[in-house]
Amino acid sequence: MGVIGAPVGYLDDFAAIGKGATKEVGILLVHGFTSSPSSMRPWAEFMHQQGYTVRVPCLPGHGTKPEDLNNVTWQEWTRKVESELRELQKSCSKVFVFGFSMGGGITLYTTQNHQEIITGIVLVNPMIHIPFVTPTVAKIYSRFKKMRSAPGNDIKRKNIADYSYDVNPLVGVYELTKMLEVTRENLGRISIPTLLFHSTDDHVLPVSNTEIILKGISSKDKERVELTNSYHVATLDHDMETIFEKSLTFVKERS
């Protein structure tokens, strides 16, 4: 399906100012590789309904056409997230970062470099490596082929779309592997509260991603929640309410 047919605005940056007692608590939500803000929008809207200030950026190269993802660097993704973090800081005394898939990897990278201003992180099927695909391997592949078929829309619920690209741009994959390599090397820097959701039936990422992250971070306050009725895009799947409610409790207890 790709990005065709997405609701108006669901492929764009999204931001909403909170209200009441929780207005000054910000939530930054980061989508995955080839995905778009649409995969995080319901979660963001749920948190906003609770009074939180939310921001969901569209990462460079996403939400348009797959070819665009072959023309960006991984630093453009992380700079975009850092910019959104600074925006939240302007009006929020506490900030949490929620990341899905590659967005989980970017959340970890951002936390390593800005831990002093992040209160806690929530990860959903986060990515920290692609088995057997190193930056060197990815670079070689990208020289011979620019696109490769992708599983896409890995959602157990029927008739639900995440409006992601239906191919993997291979230069983008090369950039992704470089970002993940740097992030994995520095996992031990992370010591803030971490909540991680893992789908037991994920057709995109192996469980090794979750295991590497939980073992690698230094956080004492960390929890893993198994999702038994969702595939990879769990933020839109049957367990989405579990993710929403538990992440809400996580934020409430730490803010």
Residues labelled as active-site residues = 101, 202, 232
Q: How many helices (H) and strands (E) does the chain have?
A: 7, 9
Rounded CA-CA distance 40/107 in Å is: 14
Cβ pair 95, 195 in contact under 8 A: no
Which residue do the tokens 């940056």 mark?
13
Q: How far is CA 182 from CA 82, 113, 127, 135, 142, in A?
A: 17, 12, 13, 11, 20
Local structure of residue 139 (DSSP, 8 states): H
Rounded CA-CA distance 178/172 in Å is: 10
Cβ pair 53, 255 in contact under 8 A: no
